[in-house]
Structure formats: C-alpha cells, structure tokens
Amino acid sequence: MEVVDVIIKAGMKNIVILISGGGSNMAAIVKVARREGWQEKWRARVAAVISNKASAGGLVFAREQGIATEVLDHKTFASREAFDEALSTAIDRFDEPGQPALVVLAGFMRILTPGFVSRYEGRLLNIHPSLLPAFPGLHTHQRALDAGCKVTGVTVHQVTADLDHGPILAQAVVPVLAADTAADLAARVLTQEHLIYPRAIADLLQK
C-alpha cells in the first residue's frame, strides 16, 4: 500500500453489508452511496459484502463493483457461536482507527448470538419487511394478508438481543390491495426498502 493511500483511508467509516441472497438492498445502498458521494462527504464507503452462502446473487454485483467479498458458509461451523466468531473476525478487519465499521444486515437470514449482537450494538442495523412491531420473524407478507391488513411496509431498526425488535430508525408504508398475493406485496415493499435503507444509513452517518 502506498503511503498516500494510507493517509487517504485513515479514519474511513467502513460499511460492511451482510447478505444471504439477491442482495438488492445491498446494491441499492452501494448505488446511493456512490451517487451521493458518501466517501467525499462523510468519509464513508461500502467496504465489504459478506455472505453466509456462496450462491448469494449479490456477491456477483459486489465483485463487479470492486467491493471486497467474503463467504462464510455457516454449515461448515460446529456451532452458532463459532460461526459468529468467524464473522466478527471478518467484520473487524474493516475497523479503522477510531472508526469501527458499521454493520448492515441486508437480507442476512441468520439468527445472531447475543454475544455478537452486544459486540456491535449501536452500529448494527437490520431491515425487516413488515411494520414492526407487527410480524417479526418469517413469512411477513403472507401473515399481513392473512390478518387482513390494509397496509403493511418495512422497518429499518437497530439490532438488539430481541429478534426483530430494537429502536426503529425508519419505516415506509405500502397499501395492501384486494387481489394481492404475498409475492405482489413483497415486490411493493422491496421498492420502498431500496429507498429507506440508504436514507436511514445516510442519516446515521451524519450524526
């Protein structure tokens, strides 16, 4: 590494995004960060994308963008704790002096251990496809339909030990239409996810 490179990157706020699948939220964050010049404005950049699945489609996009990627296959670890320990090691490589990395869960479909959550508390975000506290957990869109909801939506929140709870940073609401299937709702909600997740992160970076 050149000396000048070290000087430029010192104190950079690195964002590490964790995915398990398509990574469309991750891609939305990367695109907004570039378009809005987060690096120039706030010395913040998406530095790495980590997936627990080698097949995660989002890894292709991240590599094309020149972002560091890493796969940690949870099935190769003896315990949840061992996986989370390896995950921490991978994330902590992106800490900078005085600037611990921001950890962004974007469709990361693993339950994290309390030890992991407390280690990153305050700099660990999640997006969940419902209007929390309604419908934590899985199958949120079908559950919203089954409950007869007229609106549903998406929540960005700080992660705490309580699954799919934690302080709410942003929400967006979408209508539930009479003929909607769960797939229709998922698509409508996802469009909003791509808007509010980058905004919530930008808000945090400015604090």
Of residues 13, 16, 18, 23, which one binds ligand GAR by CB under 6 A?
23
C-alpha span between 98 and 149 (Å, rounded)? 45
Q: Which of 57, 49, 60 is nearest to 21 (CA)?
A: 57
Per CB under 6 A, does 188 bind ligand GAR? no
C-alpha span between 64 and 38 (Å, rounded)? 19
Give 23 or 198: the residue with its C-beta nearer to ligand GAR.
Answer: 23
From the candidates 74, 128, 165, 194, which is the catalytic residue?
128
Of residues 17, 19, 48, 204, which one binds ligand GAR by CB under 6 A?
19
Token pair recorded at residue 206: 């400015």
- The yes-or-no answer on residue 141 being catalytic is no
Per CB under 6 A, does 106 bind ligand GAR? yes
User: What residues contact 9, with CB distance under 8 A and at least 6 apart?
Assistant: 96
Of residues 33, 127, 144, 170, which one binds ligand GAR by CB under 6 A?
127
Per CB under 6 A, does 25 bind ligand GAR? yes
Per CB under 6 A, does 193 bind ligand GAR? yes
Q: Which spans in 15-79 are helix H?
A: 24-36, 38-42, 58-64
Give 127 or 200: the residue with its C-beta nearer to ligand GAR.
Answer: 127
Per CB under 6 A, does 49 bind ligand GAR? no
Per CB under 6 A, does 153 bind ligand GAR? no
Cis previous bond, 133, omega within 30: yes
CA-CA distances (angstroms) from residue 135 to 37, 54, 74, 121, 139?
35, 29, 26, 22, 8
Are 205 and 38 a contacting pair, CB within 8 Å? yes
Per CB under 6 A, does 22 bind ligand GAR? yes
The residue of the chain with the least Cβ separation from ligand GAR equals: 107
User: Which residues of the chain form contacts with ligand GAR (CB under 6 A)?
Assistant: 19, 21-25, 106-107, 127-129, 190, 193
Q: Which residues are catalytic?
A: 128
